[in-house]
A and B are shown apart, each in its own frame.
Chain A
Amino acid sequence: MCTTCGCADHSTARLTDLTTGQTFDLHEDAHAHRHHSHDHDHAHDHDHSHDHSHDHSHTHPHDHSHHSHHDNQRTTVLEEAVLAKNDRLAERNRGWFSASRVLALNLVSSPGSGKTTLLERTIRDLQSDLPIHVIEGDQETTHDAERIRRTGCRVVQINTGAGCHLEAEMVARGIERLASPPHSIVMIENVGNLVCPALFDLGEQAKVAILSVTEGEDKPLKYPHMFRAAQVMLLNKIDLLPHLTFDVARCLDYAREVNPQITVFQVSAQTGEGLPRWYDWLRTQLRTLGERPTC
């Protein structure tokens, strides 16, 4: 692990372009940006370079000596937001989406919510009038991305390796690769969990949480951070309701308890029930995006 930037998390993060089959190592790329052309052996030369420069020791001011040390201890006030770097990159993504009039949605769920099936169906149903591109997040496999590719849609896969969520930098690489045209939608299918993705802004216009009726109706209470951060909740697999004891009204109460503003669509990706209202919402979002002045 790189002891300075602590980026071991992404040491196995990769981007795969399903159309061309090319794979890129995100970690190496990220470092090439940050370290510029520095020799990688000097793993500590980050861009805001500490003023040590290997060969100029004679001119080098020993800044240590300028500080007075009481019992050799020095307190430095930092006041630095831990996620500042991700938030900055997310803002950059958001600026790009808005300037390019691309609607970006961050789809979050637990495993087994039927998220990929829902996405496949949405793409197939809207294909003729709405261009949709997909950034598919997964820890290891390209299985879901292959399913999406079979719809004929442009898709890049990001494998996060040990990381349990997508980060803004990965999405930046994805949008670079996709080069989505104006008035299209980029669906970012986040890694399947409802905890970690809540913390990492990707620059999306909205988070869409997908919950299926085969899960517990109290999920919004168990994962309040995510359901609070989401603008939309898709309650999926409602075709199975007759066989289950799932209490829809109670689930919606819980969701509104956590997030009174949340918009809920009850849908079935199997039968197509309820999907037209979800599609209308997508169209409205795209339209209002176009009405906003670009900045």
Chain B
Amino acid sequence: MHELSITRNIVAIVNEHAKGERVTEVTLEIGLLSAVLPDSIRFCFDIVAKGTAVEGARLNIIEVAGHGRCRACGQDVELRHPIARCSCGSSDLSRLSGEQLTIKQMVTTPCAQPADAPITPLRG
């Protein structure tokens, strides 16, 4: 399941930016064409975050539809699924967006430790 290794990437990136602060909230943007299942990410997130500065953080996932252009008739098409058709009947669509998998932002709160102390896993 690639969502596990992807979630590990997410937690690793957030941890790096947190610089020892405690992370209370993480917001992701997932394109509907990205081949990543938001529910699987949610499922993995708490497990992967355990023992890190991200433990217990709230996870917000913004799902975004993709956009494409029909190669047959030229019109813009909203893409909510990897298999899509233009209203003209063509399935030959160039994909302009919808595959993104981005960490938008995080919310942190300073912890009691001095900034230069080695980061220790947070418990509780």
Seen from chain A, the residues whose Cβ lies within 8 Å of a Cβ on chain B are 3-9, 42, 44, 46, 48, 50, 52-54, 57, 60, 62-64, 69, 72-83, 85, 163-165, 195-196, 198-200, 221, 224-225, 228, 256-258, 260-261
Contacts and interface: CB of A to CB of B under 8 A. Distances in A.
Interface string B106-120: 111110001111110
B88 interface: no
A171 to B, nearest CB: 15
Interface size class of B (residues with CB under 8 A): 35 or more
Interface string B7-50: 01111111111011100100010000111100000000000100
A174 B120 CA distance: 35
B82 interface: yes
Nearest to A65: B115
A74 B109 contact: yes
A83 B116 contact: no
B101 interface: yes
Contacts of B110: 64, 69, 72, 74
A79 B24 contact: no
Contacts of B108: 73-74, 76
Contacts, number: 137
A57 B24 CA distance: 27
A63 B117 CA distance: 13
A64 B6 CA distance: 29
A50 B102 contact: no
A196 B104 contact: no
Contacts of A165: 2, 5
Contact of B20 (A50, A60, A196): A50
A93 to B, nearest CB: 18
B52 interface: yes
Contacts of A72: 109-110
18 contacts: A3-B51, A4-B12, A6-B8, A6-B12, A57-B114, A60-B115, A64-B21, A72-B109, A72-B110, A75-B105, A75-B107, A78-B17, A80-B13, A82-B6, A82-B102, A165-B5, A200-B2, A258-B91
B13 A78 contact: yes
Nearest to A229: B35
B91 to A, nearest CB: 5
A79 B104 CA distance: 4
Contacts of B106: 75-76, 78
Contact of A63 (B12, B115, B121): B115
A83 B101 contact: yes
A5 B12 contact: yes
A74 B9 contact: no
A260 B9 contact: no
A90 to B, nearest CB: 14
A53 B8 contact: no
A81 B109 contact: no
A7 B8 contact: yes
Among A6, A52, A63, A78: residue with most chain B CB under 10 A: A6
Given A42-B118, A57-B116, A72-B110, A82 B10 contact: yes
Contact of A199 (B4, B6, B51, B117): B6
A195 B102 contact: no
Contact of A62 (B13, B28, B83, B114): B114
Given A73-B107, A75-B107, A195-B2, 17 more contacts: A3-B121, A4-B15, A6-B12, A6-B52, A53-B116, A57-B114, A62-B114, A64-B115, A72-B109, A72-B110, A73-B109, A80-B102, A199-B35, A199-B36, A258-B82, A260-B92, A261-B92
A198 B17 CA distance: 28
